[in-house]
Amino acid sequence: MVEPLLRVEQVSKRFGGLLALDRASLLAPAGRITALIGPNGAGKTTLFSIIAGFAPPSAGRIVYDGVDITGEPPHRLARRGIARTFQIVQPFTTLTVRENIAVGAHLSRPARADALAAAGDVARAVGLGDLLDRPAATLTVAGRKRLELARALAIEPRLLLLDEVLAGLNPSEIRDMVPIIRAIRDRGITIVMIEHVMQAVMSLAEHVLVLSEGRIIAEGPPQAIAGDPRVVEAYLGHGAAGRMLAAEPAMPEPILAVNGLRAGYGTTEILRGVDLTVRHGEIVAVLGANGAGKSTLNQRHLRRGPRLERRHPVCGCRDRARAAGGDRRARPHPGAGGPAHFPNMTVRENLDLGAYRRGRARREPNRSKVFSIFPRLAERQRQRAGTLSGGEQQMLAIGRGLMAEPKLLILDEPSLGLSPLLVEELFALIKRHQRGRTSPSCWSNRMWCKASRWPSAPISSTTACSC
């Protein structure tokens, strides 16, 4: 047995009445990759926050390199060689890639020139060498995730805590990132990674721990964990193959038609003649690499000509007019600049804001329906949205979209950050109600991704949007 660099002993964490961690223990052997998996809200990120000194445990202790470090502040732990990435990445958007990374390098290099030079080396190691002078704001999700990794590496850690660095990446980007993470391990850095991308866990981790409702329910080598009935029950779910929904043969009237759409930012053209039709009750998935323009298609940066029609043209409508007409976008996407919540308002208040323009009269029953789809939101309804786990924030974004009784629901990567089991449940819901009149449309990188819809809301005919 390799000597553990990190030893988490019986750690508990209480947030008021919620026991987020219940005597969780973990050993991370030096120079190895250990994975921590588990359902949304299981307590994974909370455990990272405690290890890295961002939150004190309610009980238990953390031993690092033979020293009890429980309760030490993050800057002292960074000097000891502990670095973490954040699940919801928030780079300094106005700084360049090089300057962002230099923030980490400054820990051991007070001189600016030294820190910037070191930042260049780290950037090249994670594949950002060509983007050093780009503002971080212009990076794609994949670029931001790499930047997050680079900033942590610039601290020159011995222990690296990776919180969902692969979330939101498409399959080829995941394939590119796996060898980068392996190369970091090969340099002798001990890694603990939280990840929902199971193929990466299987190919990278030597040991896997499964956290559910604050407790470690299983641990072992990846193959054994994948076949463990408790893990399948609590986290992975059955029937992955059933996710691919069969295409419906006959299609009713279009609810949305996009013809020859061109859009961009400044002089950069992103969309060059996109055609898309969404019919009543249909689920349309838009697939593509990060940076291909999927989210732009979701927005309103239209450069010329009336291209979007929904029985009557909606091109140029303001968002609120569209919302009044029945378009709802759930745009959670934590990886691309943070979820669009009001972090200091409660879950319930955020949901109610979804019914500000539409669905106000049926706000109560609709909120109950959202809670029945996402029982976790019901449990957390009085919690501030900013303190929700990454997956819970995703549920809130979808739930808020549903509060407006949408006729057309546009979801931007709805599966991002959700556990495999929850993704399966979400898509099972879609499958059951696919033939209703809400037409979900979905912008996603995942082949099996579909969109949610309002299961049993009162349905009215399409209304014209007043431009």
Ligand X SMILES: Nc1ncnc2c1ncn2[C@@H]1O[C@H](COP(=O)(O)OP(=O)(O)OP(=O)(O)O)[C@@H](O)[C@H]1O
From the CB of residue 188, how many other CB atoms can be counted at a distance below 10 Å? 9
Site string (86-105) toward Mg ion, x via CB under 5 A:
-x------------------
Q: Is 18 in the site for ligand X (CB under 6 A)?
A: yes
Q: Is 390 in the site for Mg ion (CB under 5 A)?
A: yes
Nearest approach, Cβ of residue 396 and ligand X (Å): 10
Q: Is 41 in the site for ligand X (CB under 6 A)?
A: yes
- Do 139 and 145 touch, CB atoms closer than 8 A? no
Contacts of 79 (CB under 8 A, 6+ apart): 107
From residue 190, give the alpha-carbon distance in Å to each of 31, 157, 158.
Answer: 4, 9, 6
| Both tokens assigned to 176 | 């590119």
From the CB of residue 361, how many other CB atoms can be counted at a distance below 10 Å? 11
Among the candidate windows 41-49, 149-157, 241-249, 338-346, which touches ligand X by CB under 6 A? 41-49
Return the number of the residue (184 or 418) whose C-beta is nearest Mg ion. Answer: 418
275 half-sphere exposure, CB direction, 13 A CA radius: 2
Q: How far is CA 272 from the centre of its chain?
A: 28
Q: Is 39 in the site for Mg ion (CB under 5 A)?
A: no
Return the number of the residue (231 or 388) whose C-beta is nearest ligand X. Answer: 388
Q: Which of 42, 177, 231, 416 binds ligand X (CB under 6 A)?
A: 42
42 touches, from ligand X, Mg ion, none (C-beta below 5 to 8 Å by class)? ligand X
Spatial distance between the Cα atoms of 69 and 48, rounded to a whole number of angstroms? 14
Contacts of 271 (CB under 8 A, 6+ apart): 261, 262, 263, 264, 293, 296, 297
| Both tokens assigned to 168 | 């939101």
Q: Please, which contacts does 106-115 make with residues 24 or more away whose CB atoms are closer than 8 Å?
A: 107/78, 107/79, 107/154, 107/155, 107/156, 108/155, 108/156
Q: Residue number with the shortest CB distance to Mg ion?
A: 45
Q: Which of 46, 85, 439, 452 binds ligand X (CB under 6 A)?
A: 46
174 touches, from ligand X, Mg ion, none (C-beta below 5 to 8 Å by class)? none
Q: Is 40 in the site for Mg ion (CB under 5 A)?
A: no
43 touches, from ligand X, Mg ion, none (C-beta below 5 to 8 Å by class)? ligand X
Among the candidate windows 43-51, 91-99, 138-146, 270-278, which touches ligand X by CB under 6 A? 43-51
Site string (367-406) toward ligand X, x via CB under 6 A:
-------------x--x---xxxxxx--------------
Return the number of the residue (182 or 382) whose C-beta is nearest ligand X. Answer: 382
- Helix (DSSP H) and strand (DSSP E) numbers for the chain: 16, 18
Identify the burial level of 458 via C-beta atoms within 10 angstroms of its C-beta, where 0-12 means exposed, 13-18 middle and 19 or more buried: exposed
Angle between helix 347-354 and helix 363-373 axes, rounded to 10 deg: 120
- Do 216 and 209 touch, CB atoms closer than 8 A? yes
46 touches, from Mg ion, ligand X, none (C-beta below 5 to 8 Å by class)? ligand X
- Do 161 and 51 touch, CB atoms closer than 8 A? yes
Nearest approach, Cβ of residue 389 and ligand X (Å): 3
Nearest approach, Cβ of residue 213 and Mg ion (Å): 14
Length of the chain as a residue count: 467
| Both tokens assigned to 207 | 């040991």
Q: Is 346 in the site for ligand X (CB under 6 A)?
A: no
**What residues numbered 401-440 form the site for ligand X, per CB under 6 A?**
417
Query: Which regions of 47-143 does DSSP assign to beta strands (E)?
Result: 59-64, 67-68, 82-84
DSSP three-state, residue 343: coil
Q: Which of 5, 34, 35, 43 binds ligand X (CB under 6 A)?
A: 43
Spatial distance between the Cα atoms of 14 and 20, rounded to a whole number of angstroms? 6
Site string (59-98) toward ligand X, x via CB under 6 A:
----------------------------x-----------
Nearest approach, Cβ of residue 251 and Mg ion (Å): 39
Nearest approach, Cβ of residue 387 and ligand X (Å): 3
Q: Is 34 in the site for Mg ion (CB under 5 A)?
A: no
Nearest approach, Cβ of residue 177 and ligand X (Å): 18
Among the candidate windows 39-47, 222-230, 283-291, 347-355, which touches ligand X by CB under 6 A? 39-47
Nearest approach, Cβ of residue 446 and ligand X (Å): 16
Q: Would you tell me which residues interact with ligand X (CB under 6 A)?
A: 15, 18, 20, 38, 40-46, 87, 380, 383, 387-392, 417
Q: Would you tell me which residues interact with Mg ion (CB under 5 A)?
A: 45, 87, 389-390
